[in-house]
Amino acid sequence: MKYKRILLKLSGEALMGEQQFGINPQRLKAYAQEVKAAVDSGAEVAITIGGGNIFRGLQAGESGIERVQGDAMGMLATVINGLALQSAIENEGIKTRLMTAIKMDQLAEPFIRRRAIRHLEKGRVVIFGAGTGNPYFTTDTGAALRAVEIEADVILKGTRVDGIYSADPEKDPTATKYEKVSFDEVYEKGLNVMDMTAFTLCNENKLPIIVFDINEKGNLLRLIQGEEIGTLVDL
């Protein structure tokens, strides 16, 4: 096994499937099965999920909601997704813990670093909700922060595309895919991997990122075992 402790970053939009919003039950189950396969192989799995399928803080301004309030709503959306993911993974027979950056004791544990690491060591999947707990930070930054805190070996960013391209492959047919790219090259070429705050945090802490297609069955397990899938961002 190449990566023992991973942080899987999923976007809220990934849960929509072909829908315009909300949670697609089939997609939710598929992700839970991917996580189960990873845990069964002996990997320690933490997950951070976005909330864009329910509410995006950045869109709040269009409806007259101030940014800080909008970001708070977005953080709550990630908790809703976290609860859904928790239920789906436990339906596969895997024990989980949902930990949130904002206290909501009736629903989840507060994030405590040592406790999170202990859960992982015991084979539980840890889902991190509510981002960093602060406005103006994305769930990408939340993922990078938690990955550094729990000493993850890698961030696996599951997306709809199979890696990092020179341009958006869904819009530009001439876009070329990178197999491996350095942190410096991402800065120089202006590639869209994560938001800059999250990306800089990974760079400063020498934490590699792999961008891959989460919707391809078995990809997560193959990545953990060392297959070269997607695009690796490293020093």
pLDDT tens for each residue of 179-189: 999 999 999 99
Cα diameter, the chain: 50
pLDDT value of position 58: 67
- The one-digit pLDDT tens for each residue of the chain (235 residues) are 999 999 999 999 999 988 889 999 999 999 999 999 999 999 999 999 999 999 876 677 677 899 999 999 999 999 999 999 999 999 999 999 999 999 999 999 999 999 999 999 999 999 999 999 999 999 999 999 999 999 999 999 999 889 999 988 888 889 999 999 999 999 999 998 999 999 999 999 999 999 999 999 999 999 999 999 999 999 9
Q: Is the domain covering 5-155+185-208 a CATH 3.90.180.10 domain?
A: no
Q: What six digits make up the tokens of 147?
A: 């990955």
Domain locations along the chain: 5-155+185-208
CA distance 74 to 50: 8
Q: What six digits make up the tokens of 75?
A: 């953080």
pLDDT value of position 157: 97
pLDDT tens for each residue of 80-118: 999 999 999 999 999 999 999 999 999 999 999 999 999
HEC-encoded secondary structure of 50-101: CCCCCCCHHHHHHHCCCHHHHHHHHHHHHHHHHHHHHHHHHHCCCCEEEEEC
Buried b or exposed e, range 179-204, using 16+ CB within 10 angstroms = eebebeebeeeebebbeeebbebbbe
Could you tell me which of 78, 199, 223 has the C-alpha nearest to residue 148? Answer: 199
DSSP 92: T
Q: Which CA distances in Å does 27 have to 87, 109, 206, 216? A: 13, 26, 32, 11
Q: Which residues on adjacent β-strands are paired with residue 213?
A: 159
CA distance 17 to 112: 32
Q: How many residues does the chain have?
A: 235
pLDDT value of position 149: 98
Contact 209, 163 (CB under 8 A): no
